[in-house]
Amino acid sequence: MISEIISVENSSSSSNKYENKYYQRFAPFLRFTHLLIVISFLSLAVTGMIIKFSDVSVFQTLSDFLGGYQVTGFIHRVGAIITFIYFALHLHFLFRKRRETSAKYLFTGENSMMFNKRDFTEFIATMKWFFGKGPRPDYGRWTYWEKFDYFAVFWGVAVIGFSGLILWFPEIFTYIGIPGWFINIATIIHSDEALLAVGFIFTVHFFNTHFRPDKFPIDITIFTGSMPVEELKYDRPRQYKALMESGELDDRLVPPPSPFLVKIAKIFGFTALFIGLSIIIMIIYSMIFLYK
């Protein structure tokens, strides 16, 4: 009985110790690359859908608002350049990370971005939790949906990026041996894969990141880089437990984000959400218009 009381007191003092303390979840470099991703993806999504649905009035009006199809085409290419820049930066980050740790830990460690058996069990547990059939899973550093989002970027750059390059420089690619008919295939791949990516990011990703009941209406952690320790304890209980057991939590504490940074993060985040949801509504309208 006495041991239980001591345990409760220790737990309470530990909780009080981290009250109003912040944990650094994202390093500055990761926040910077994510900022590039948001800027490039929004640019590509808006201008790409203008091109895909160029015969629909709502996107024609949006094109006129931005300055016409020449301007939207230029913005689209700038967005593509930013995409290749952040992808190259991230590859460099991975190679540097590989030199700092073992390949086994990078691919199978607790904080690895690779899928594992636990992701499958957490997916099943999450579905049960959604329908009130089980408790909330003890998520760790990365969840299964974050890993999916992560690899979706690799897929997008590979498929959408490469097909986009073919459409951007058709003369060069046909000169080096790609048959002319493949340009038509690249057009279909680029257009349909882009529509799939836009639909997924502005619905599923938005829900998982921002519209979940415990995050609604927005999660600005990726922009500020930090989150309250109490939020970490609830949102990532397995990671919190590991940090407490290893004693690493204290080393990752940072000052609270400044009110100015929080304000800027919210303005930028809500703007991105508004643009994304608006594009989804315009796409639905266009699909109805085209197939009515």
Backbone angles phi, psi at 176, to 5 degrees: -85, 5
- Percent of residues, the chain, with pLDDT higher than 90: 83
Q: Whole-angstrom Cα distance, residue 287 to residue 68?
A: 22
**Residue 269 pLDDT more than 50?**
yes
Across the chain, what does the average pLDDT equal?
91
DSSP secondary structure code for residue 143 in this structure: -
pLDDT for residue 6: 36
* Residue 292 pLDDT class (50, 70, 90 cuts): low
Q: What is the pLDDT of residues 6-20, one digit of tens each?
A: 343 444 445 567 888
Q: Whole-angstrom Cα distance, residue 266 to residue 260?
A: 10
pLDDT for residue 15: 52
pLDDT for residue 214: 86
**Residue 1 pLDDT more than 60?**
no
pTM of the model: 0.89
CB contact set of 272 (below 8 Å; sequence gap of 6+) = 38, 42
Q: What is the pLDDT of residues 77-127, one digit of tens each?
A: 999 999 999 999 999 998 888 777 777 777 788 888 999 999 999 999 999
Distance of CA 275 to the CA centre of its chain: 16
pLDDT for residue 9: 41
H-run or E-run covering 228: strand 226-228
What is the DSSP code string of 243-290? Answer: HHHHT-TGGGEEPPPPHHHHHHHHHHHHHHHHHHHHHHHHHHHHHHHH
pLDDT for residue 110: 83
Q: What is the pLDDT of residues 239-266, one digit of tens each?
A: 999 999 999 999 999 999 999 999 999 9
pLDDT for residue 111: 86
Q: Lowest mean pLDDT: which of 2-6, 35-39, 84-88, 194-198?
A: 2-6
Q: What is the mean pLDDT of residues 132-158?
A: 94
Strand order in the sheet with 253-254: 226-228, 22-24, 253-254
**Residue 138 pLDDT more than 60?**
yes
Q: What is the pLDDT of residues 161-183, one digit of tens each?
A: 999 999 999 999 999 989 999 99
- Percent of residues, the chain, with pLDDT higher than 70: 94
